[in-house]
A and B are shown apart, each in its own frame.
Chain A
Amino acid sequence: MRLEVHRRLAELRAAVGMDYGKCVQKLLGLAFLEAGALRLTDRSIQGIDLEVTLADRRRLALEVKTTEAEAIRLGDKDLEGLEARRAEGFQPFLAALGPNRLDDWIFARVHPGELRAKESYAPLLLRAWRDRELEAVVASTFPAVVLAHAAAAAVGRQSALNALLERYPAYARA
């Protein structure tokens, strides 16, 4: 991750505390929209975090995890939710972002039985299931989104980012 982007995210984390995960989720949503996503459903309250229809019509269900610790822990509901989305035709992914500068978004494909609930996964380990193509899509827009909006998010938190998201016709909240 570029140093400046990492710095902005660190500042955001320091500013919003517990809201950091949700803010990053919304920044990721903005990045998808900037990348030309045809539809983005933000499930901030319940269920899988994001549903995305990419420009190539791929439909993704994303469980977004950010961590300051060494490991990401998956819950039963996370995996059940992803499996439910798979049954609906979505490709389930675990989107993970670690706290270090060399960490970047990892989009790990979730296959039944491979990632397990109640187990901890180092973000690095998730590289084993990574989808580089999807990572490239996000990498093309996420840095600019962070540079442009992280400062606003640090002040206005989720609601500021919701206002930005709502400018996109492709955005929907569930």
Chain B
Amino acid sequence: MKPRSLSIREFRGWRESGEIPLDRPITLVVGENGRGKSSLTTAIEWCLFGREIESAGGLGIDERADWEVRPREASQGPTEVSLGLDAPEGPVTVVRRRAAHASGRGGDEVEVRTPSGVLADAAALEWLRRRMPDLETFRRAHALHPESVRRRATDAADRAAILAILLGLEDDREARERWKDAKALDLVRDVDLRLRRLEADVDASADRPRRDREEVEKRLLARGLARGDLSPERAAALRDDLTARARALAQRLGLDPKLPPVGIPDSEAFHAWARAWPLAARERAPALTGLQARRNGLSHLDAGLAELAPLEDGLRRARETYEQAVHTGGDRPARERAIVEATAKATQAAADLQRASSLVSLLEDALALAPDVDERTPCPVCATPVLGLRARIGEALAHHRDDDVSRLVEAKAKAQAARQAAERALDDLARAERSGHAAREARDQVQKRLAALLPPDAGSPGVGSPVDGPTHDLAAAARVRAEVLRREIEGLEGLAKERDAALARHAADHDLLRDLEAWVSAVARLDREVEVTRCPSFDRLDAAVDAVAGFAADVESLSSMARDAQAERSVARGAAVNRTLGEYYDAIVGAGGRGLQVVVHATPKKIDYRLEDRDGLPAVPVLNQASINAVSLALLFAQAEERARVDGLSLVLLDDPAQSLDAERQAGLARAIERLSAACSVLVTTTPAPLADRVRDFVSTPRRLLHLAPRDVHAGARVERTEDR
């Protein structure tokens, strides 16, 4: 689609232009300053974009937005610009009209006259929207206002920003730059920061429970618990251990441990049990109740057996003494008989002695009575005269007194001695008997005591003779019993020791458990104090944070896609431009075939644009005004050619493009315009300058020169003459 003609009425410097033909590949509008050149190119843009371009600025019109469309000296008629186009469907005319007294931001009348009919208002705007590029595209690929480029380039931060402007990618680049600050992610960071502050505030409020926890924790660690043991699970395991060990101990002690109910987390009940259990285990264990009785029994048995042994010895010795006495001196009857016999002998001896003594006494009496003469003297007894009686009595007396009495005295003494000896022997035997009896009695008493300590079937002490057998059985039974008791006592004492050890461990573990539960409780209390997630409103906060995260992720995702699209657009545009950029640039600046290309480097945070020559070396080292103009022209031409090839709009407006270009470059620009005109219709406005001469005289493309007349206040701008070449 190419421009065919242009009509301007009451538009800025123009009052009534009449139909200006634009049907040549190159239209060169030549005029001094103030003759309406820029208004002419702007009229075309206004026709296509209306208020959109008025407010956009950057067109070189007063260098500001909201410029005035109507001249101050305009007539009462409306402002109207008609742009004739050669479209594929035939001649088309786009008309934009604004009433003389239109105010505010009211809409213009737009009309599109096509071979098939006239489209008005919305239909016309829709036709424009579909068939014409948008303003941004138009400005980068179809129109050049060097003043605008200069101003924007001046404002640009760096070379890449200038190139982005020239490529129409500044919005993308600025968006990418803005993304450095990532507002959506800031939102997430802000929420994160607020959550941390909340966490810190809550933590700060829990100082007391934290100290409690630390205190009990120190105690537990001092008890040898490892860090990993500080857990509710360890407390539960310890509690289970306590009850399991108590159950086992109770079974051995024959007790009911009366364990607290299983599975009911009643800490008070458990601890009450844990305190009471050792008392019960110590005092009421049936298995240990007989221990003291056994100890007493063993003590008595040991004492009895200790007492019995010497008694047995004594008894044995008494028995031996008695037997020896019997053996040597006969038994009691024999000894009694000996006494009787000795007594009889003694009695006989005494009687004999008595008789002898009586005889002696008689003899002495007789002697005393007998005359002391040797005659016959009458016997004092029988009165018979006896010769020598006195002598004879004397002899008899001597005989009896000296012999018989002495013999009888001796015999009597012997008999008495014999009797006494017999009596002593009997006494001795009696003493031996008494001694034996006493020994046996003493032994029997001990035996009875021992027997009382023995079970009924353990035998009974012998009765009677000290030599009877059961005595040994009893002592043996007592010893057996004592041994049994000793073993039983050992076992029970072992059990008691085991109980004591178990209860000591129980007490220690119970203390540990209480500390551990205190720790669990302190941790739970601390958790309650600081655990904001348990707060009912935390779920709402959590959901809100999720929503923020979701929103931020969506924005992040969209921005990521946008960044991809930006990068792709930049790369695509660079590629499109690079098809012809080098040739146009070479044409304008005479770069000697080094060419020029735009290199795009996109990162998540930045898009960079560089200019390189064909060999990939940095190009255009100094980006001064002339260079910017040259580069912007080359870029515009390259983009215009690409647009014409792809989208079919064949129109380029160059508003005084020769600014800042020397004559040589203006000649180069003419060459570039010649080349561009092969693809696009080019409308160039210029002052009478080398460019005008070069286009007029050295370009082979059909071209038309429109010379503008000096501006007349009443007639406005006008074409003074037309020159077709």
11 additional A-B pairs beyond A100-B199, A148-B228, A154-B227, beta carbons within 8 Å, are: A116-B560, A122-B185, A124-B191, A125-B552, A126-B549, A127-B545, A127-B546, A128-B549, A147-B230, A148-B231, A148-B233
Q: How far, in Å, is B630 (CB) from chain A's closest CB?
A: 38
What's the least CB distance linking B225 to chain A, in Å?
A: 10
In this assembly, does A70 line the interface, its C-beta being within 8 Å of a C-beta of chain B? yes
Q: Which 7 A-B pairs have the closest CB atoms?
A: A128-B553, A151-B227, A151-B228, A127-B549, A147-B231, A128-B550, A128-B549
B residues near A4, Cβ cutoff 8 Å: 523, 526-527
Complex CA distance for A44 and B604, rounded to whole angstroms: 31
Per-position contact with A for B483-525: 1 when CB-CB < 8 Å, else 0?
0000000000000000000000000000000000000000100
> B195: CB under 8 A from chain A?
yes
Known: A70-B192, A100-B199, A102-B532. A151 touches B546 (CB 8 A): no
Within the complex, what minimum Cβ distance (angstroms) separates A151 from chain B? 3
CB pair A144–B231 under 8 Å, yes or no, is yes
Asked if A43 is an interface residue, CB under 8 A from chain B, the answer is no
Docked complex: B532-565 residues within 8 A CB-CB of A? 532-533, 545-546, 548-550, 552-554, 556-557, 560
Residues of A within 8 A of B (CB): 2-4, 8, 11, 70, 100-102, 114, 116, 118-119, 122, 124-130, 144, 147-152, 154
Tally B residues with Cβ within 8 Å of A: 37
B530: Cβ under 8 A from any A Cβ? yes
A147–B198 CA distance with the chains assembled, in angstroms: 25
Contact A100/B196 with A125-B552, A127-B545, A128-B552 known, Cβ cut-off 8 Å: yes
A92, B589: Cα distance in complex, Å: 57
B527 & A150 in contact (Cβ 8 Å cutoff): no
Render B192-226 as a binary contact track against A, CB cut-off 8 A, 1 for contact.
10011011000100000000000000000000001
Instruction: Specify which chain A residues have a CB less than 8 angstroms from the CB of B320 in the assembled complex.
Output: none
Q: Are A124 and B545 in contact (CB under 8 A)?
A: yes
Least Cβ distance of B659 to chain A in Å? 45
Q: Could you say which residues of chain A place their CB within 8 Å of the CB of B554?
A: 128
Residues of A within 8 A of B533 (CB): 102
CB of A122 within 8 A of CB of B189, answer: yes
Query: A122 → chain B, closest Cβ, in Å?
Result: 5
Given contacts A101-B199, A128-B554, A147-B233, contact A119 B188 (CB under 8 A): no
Docked Cα-Cα span, A152 to B185, in Å, equals: 38
For B227, list chain A residues within 8 Å (CB): 8, 11, 150-151, 154
B184 nearest CB neighbor, chain A only: A125
For the complex, would chain A's binding face be called helix, strand, loop or mixed by DSSP majority? helix
The answer, yes or no, to whether B531 is at the interface (CB within 8 Å) is yes
Residues of chain A contacted by B530 (CB below 8 angstroms)? 3, 101
Residue in chain B with minimal CB distance to A144: B233
Chain B contacts of A119 at CB under 8 A?
560, 604
List the B residue with the shortest CB-CB distance to A106: B549
- A154–B226 CA distance with the chains assembled, in angstroms: 12
Residues of chain B lying within 8 A (CB to CB) of residue A126 = 549
Shortest C-beta distance, A118 to chain B (Å), equals: 8
Task: Please give the residue numbers on chain B whose beta carbons come within 8 Å of chain A beta carbons, in ascending order.
Answer: 185, 188-189, 191-192, 195-196, 198-199, 203, 226-228, 230-234, 523, 526-527, 530-533, 545-546, 548-550, 552-554, 556-557, 560, 604
Which B residues lie within 8 Å of A8 (CB)?
A: 227
In this complex, the member of A125, A144, A154 whose beta carbon has the largest number of chain B beta carbons within 10 angstroms is: A125
B553 touches A2 (CB 8 A): no
**How many whole Å from B568's CB to the nearest CB in chain A?**
15
Question: Does the CB pair B549–A100 fall under 8 Å?
Answer: no
Complex alpha-carbon distance, A97 and B526, angstroms: 22
Residues of A within 8 A of B191 (CB): 124
Task: Give the shortest distance, in Å, between B522 (CB) and chain A (any CB).
Answer: 10
* Complex interface: chain A residues within 8 A of B552 (CB): 125, 128
- Is the beta-carbon distance between A125 and B233 smaller than 8 angstroms? no
Q: Name the contact of A102 in the complex, choosing from B185, B195, B523 (C-beta under 8 A).
A: B195
> Given the complex of chains A and B, what is the CA–CA distance between A2 and B533 in angstroms?
9
- Rounded to whole angstroms, the CA-CA distance of A34 and B546 in the bound complex is 28
Contact A102 B560 (CB under 8 A): no
* Contact A150 B228, CB 8 Å, known A3-B531, A4-B527, A124-B188: yes
15 CB-based A-B contacts, threshold 8 Å: A2-B527, A3-B203, A70-B189, A101-B199, A102-B199, A124-B192, A124-B548, A127-B546, A127-B550, A128-B552, A130-B546, A148-B233, A150-B227, A151-B226, A151-B228
Q: Are B188 and A125 in contact (CB under 8 A)?
A: yes
Query: What A residues does B549 contact at CB under 8 A?
Result: 124-128
Q: How far is the CA of A3 from the CA of B525 in the complex (A)?
A: 11
Nearest A residue to B213, CB-CB:
A4
Q: How far is the CA of A154 from the CA of B231 in the complex (A)?
A: 16
Quick one: given A124-B191, A151-B226, are A3 and B231 in contact (CB under 8 Å)? no
Q: How far is the CA of A116 from the CA of B545 in the complex (A)?
A: 22
Q: Which residues of A contact B523 (CB under 8 A)?
A: 3-4
Complex: chain B residue closest to A130, CB-CB: B546
**Please, which residue of chain B has its CB at the minimum distance from the CB of A11?**
B227
A129 to B552, CA, bound (A): 11
Distance, CA A149 to CA B230, complexed state (A): 10
| CB neighbours of A101 from chain B (8 A) | 199, 203, 530
Contact A149 B531 (CB under 8 A): no
Alpha-carbon distance between A114 and B560 when the two chains are bound, in angstroms: 9
With CB as the reference atom, state the residue of chain A lying closest to B533: A102
Distance in Å from the Cβ of B92 to the closest Cβ of chain A? 44
Nearest CB in chain B to that of A8: its residue = B227
Chain A: CB-nearest residue to B229: A151
Question: Bound state CA distance, A150 and B526, in angstroms?
Answer: 20
Let me know if B230 and A100 touch, CB within 8 A: no
Residues in A neighbouring B553, C-beta threshold 8 A: 114, 125, 128-129
Chain B: minimal CB distance from A7 (Å) = 9
Q: How far is the CB of A124 from chain B (nearest CB, A)?
A: 5
Give the complex CA separation of A130 and B188 in angstroms. Answer: 15
Residues of A within 8 Å of B226, CB to CB, are 151
Contacts of A148 in B (CB 8 A): 228, 231, 233-234
Contact check, A102 vs B196: say whether CB atoms are below 8 A apart. Answer: yes
In the complex, what residues of A have CB within 8 A of residue B546's CB? 127-128, 130
Shortest C-beta distance, B223 to chain A (Å), equals 15
Cα–Cα distance between A149 and B530 once the two chains are bound (Å): 23
Complex Cα gap A128–B604 (Å): 21
Q: Which residues of A contact B531 (CB under 8 A)?
A: 2-3
User: Distance (Å) between the CB of A6 and the closest chain B CB?
Assistant: 9
Question: B557–A114 contact, CB under 8 A?
Answer: yes
Q: How far is the CA of A150 from the CA of B560 in the complex (A)?
A: 39
Contact of A3 among B196, B230, B526, B548 (CB under 8 A): B526
Is there an interface contact between B231 and A100, defined as CB atoms closer than 8 Å? no
Complex Cα spacing A115 to B615, Å: 37
Tell me the complex Cα distance, A114–B557, Å: 7
The answer for the CA separation of A127 and B192 in the assembled complex, in Å, is 12
List B contacts of A150 (CB < 8 A): 227-228
Please report the C-alpha to C-alpha distance between residue A154 and residue B549 in the assembled complex, in whole angstroms. 34
Given A102-B199, A144-B233, A125 and B545 contact (CB-CB distance below 8 Å): no
CB distance from A136 to the nearest CB of B (A): 13
CA distance A102 to B552 in the complex (A): 19
CA distance A143 to B532 in the complex (A): 16
Instruction: State A130–B545 Cα separation when bound (angstroms).
Output: 12
